Structure 1
Amino acid sequence: MELPLCFHQHPTLFSTLFLSISIQIAEWLLSSLLELSSQFKVEPLMKCCKEIIDCLEVDKKPSDSGKILIVSKGRLQDHRFDSCPLKAPLNVQKVAEFLANGEHSDINIYVNGHGLVAKGHKLILSLWSVPLAKMFTNGMKESNAADIFFEDVPPKPFFLLLQFMYYGELKLDTGDITSVLVQLLLLADQFAITVLQFECCKRIMEYLSEDTVCSVLQAVSSIPSCKLLEEVCKRNFATHFDYCTTACTDFVSLDEATFKDILEHGDMTVTSEERVLDVILTWCMGACETFHWTSVDELLRTSTPEQLFGERLSAINTLLPLVRFPLMHLSILKRMERSNLANHIQAFRQLVAEAIEFSHAGQLMPTACECERFQHRRSSYKELQYISDGDSNGVIYYAGTSFGKHQWMNPVLTKNITVVASSPNSRHTDPKALVSKNYQGTCFAGPCVENGKRVSWWMVDIGQEHQLMCNYYTVRQDGSTAFMRSWAFQGSMDGRNWTSLRVHDSDPTVCYPGQFASWPIVGPAALLPFRFFRVALTGPAVGCTWNLCICFLELYGYFH
């Protein structure tokens, strides 16, 4: 296409057509700009130029042709446009088609090991990414090469990065979404695409869970612009400390500063200080499984601290003071006092001695009121331990005392907990009967249909202000012989989305009327806090009935 001579003499005019919202030009160039905008059919700019020329013709005063005018096309947009990084009016759909069909491409983009991933456009890539712009203009071989190769980049997140630069939005399928977003976030940081970084951070926070928080923390701790996401992750880890350090040992890969921030977090929630000690020792060892402090103590019989902790030995002195030894039972402290840990590690020996002194002197110790080490954590759990069937140690009994404030009353009547059945309330489907201390000859929850499946359940809500990490539960059969055989014990935070804590399939335990039966919850599931709990039939009871015939339910574990 042949361009007017003024374009070759004044290339700025040409850039005005496509990149600028407004431009300052000399009055004598106005006609040339109108000619260019007409040739390329940039109608908003054409209209603007004609308006200015008409105004100048009306003004009869002599004009200096060198006077500078401001020409704007941004105010006259007749079509819906999105924005590119330079805020230019841009038909994103058309630009997206360039990526899809490779039209007007001037560079082939390869990922080593995966071949050609896209036919790209240097101009579009440069607008989004300063590092890519420098690559294309630094005079090195990439500046003039038709093919560029990227090593050590994950292909799927990399193509999502390219899509974002053409579409202006993040297009992401469901699936293992967090791992892809983390990889995409690292690429956005590498190529300095700030808008994409913010979008990735927002999406990661939406999908963040206790199972993904460690991998996210490892990635974002080195990215300065992701401090908000980093803080959200640290809080998530701290409030689910037991689960995050039990479900896997990814936490040993966290750097010392991040790990220390979690241990010092104000929302740190943990079942025992022994647990904190175990996790610190495991981190210092870089172990692939969590070690109890007694196991580490045993290893020190045949190993030195240098051999056991390696490069992280120096971190022991920094991290051990974050364990609140004074909150441990005196008998445990006495064992620690005689341990190999105390013999080999001075900081451990001093902290244990201080805790033993505190157990004798209490608040009379001068430092006891000033040091956090002597204070209970703000977010801590009360252990409600299963002893025997029908005991008075469970959460529901505790709620009946208004959490230790008065003599027992039915917690449904005092509104400390709520009980709901899968069928409407009736004489034999009575919520308060399930948590009473009296045996009921007939007490059942009838069937309903959920997600197209038949199910019967009793559900307990321990209250908006409370959570329980359940590690044991007890039921009691009513006076019937409709014994349950296949059921699930489940927990939930919202009463809609359920996590199975223990699944029973053809379980013959319950075999006579009025029988108590109890089961432990084991593994990482026992360390997840929930507000709602339910026992739900997944198959018919004996006699082919779908009535869940239990007259008592009790829960145990760590209550908050």
Structure 2
Amino acid sequence: MIEEKERKSLTVAPFQCVWSKDLKFREAGRGCVAFDAYAHNDVTVVFRENVGSQNYHYKRDNNPHYTVILGSHRNRRLKIEVDGKSVVDVEGTGLCCSFAFQSYWISIYDGLISVGKGRYPFQNLVFQWLDSNPNCSVQYVGFSSWDKHVGYRNVNVLPLPHNHLLLWKQVDSAEYDRKEDLEEELENGQTGYEEWGLKNFLESWKLSDVVFIVGNGNIERPVPAHKVILQACGNFPLSSSNEDVIQMHDVTYVVLHAFLQYIYTGQTQILESQLGSLGSLALQYEVMPLAKQCKETMERSMLNKKLLGVGKNVELSCPNSRPHYCVTFPLGLPINVQRLNELHSSGEYSDVNIYIEGHGLVARLHKIILSLWSVPFMKMFTNGMSETSSSEIHLSEVPPEAFKIMLKYMYIGELSLADTTYSGTLLLQLLLLADQFGVTPLYQECCKILLECLSEGWSSPNGRRTQFVRSCKQFHQFHHVNSLKKPVREDLQCTSITVQLPALTLSC
């Protein structure tokens, strides 16, 4: 652990900057500084490769550096400058305090600049900005001012925490804008499941619990992923409890991206010259469909006497073993459904426990799987609701047997034959749950089964049709199907459910 460098109070005169050789990051480009400041405006911290001179001021610095200004424009703005050029200028009213010391922290990790308030670093984040062309050489910390004196005290240069990669989860990235639009469209019924799905979680920090680190030295890049998805596709060195970090110093980001893209979307493309690296990575982690395709593609190229490394892109696609099915998760992906079902049964790598009132714990599940199928669940886990940070969900007024069937469907993507032979009441409960949680393919499947059961051609040698129709009538009577609006959670609003079935006539 980096030794903390604490400094007593100091006052910086207008247009000055104070440096110390002790105030430096041990690792260039990575570190955190925490301090208290007292000022009317312009609490200013400078980060550069070398210590500044006695007459240094950041406005006259021609060398690479970062400058973070809290309370600029008369304590109304927060600014970040790169080499003297403003890259961030956002509202930040009241960041400075002229009658008492305030506590702040600023961390830098490979161009990711995080600014927070409070005594405890890495908490109470105020703002983050990611430099697309990071300066990984900054190491020394200087304290400056603008047109008024600024007081500083309790200055500490701190190590980044062991889980510093969690800071990346807060990055404001425009890539999420389209995903959020898709979530809204899916919720409003404006798009189908082919527009939503696992591809929207590719390299997303949402619900991630494992991080790959590619590259080495100052050009490392973190890439998030999800344990249950990876382990359903191959064999990765993952723990069941902690957030894992997998180092890949000899793997380029391009190859890792193609690898994960194949897992999350079922297809990818890569240069012919990189097929060998991609195939080796797939073989190492036992993603066998990809390893096989890479090998066959390289052999085919050699057989056709095509030269590798001429800049040609090769497209790889996971064959859909059941093309006549609607392509919903996990179909069309290199996922071992049997392995995924085992993870469902065992609860390995689970991050949420679901309890039903009167029945206790009914399942240990994976938030990402539930989010792939259900907008209500997705909103719970990603929109700041209590379940976003919780590992427990408590439901009421939910039939446990039907709920378990719905969960199994989410993991294997279809109703098993055994599931379809249950009583009419159970099928109706399942249909209502599917509608309530927005699992549209399951809802459609239940409707299809129910209509088949009620068709004129349905044989009922043992009077099952009569019993089934009675179940429908009883269910309609006791549950008021056409106006059911009771939420399964107090703060989870479900849709109004109307079951459109043929008129039920009991003629047997």
Query: What is the TM-score with the length of structure 1 in the denominator?
Result: 0.36
Higher relative contact order (CA 8 A, sep 6+): 2
Which one has the largest radius of gyration? 1
Query: What is the TM-score with the length of structure 2 in the denominator?
Result: 0.39
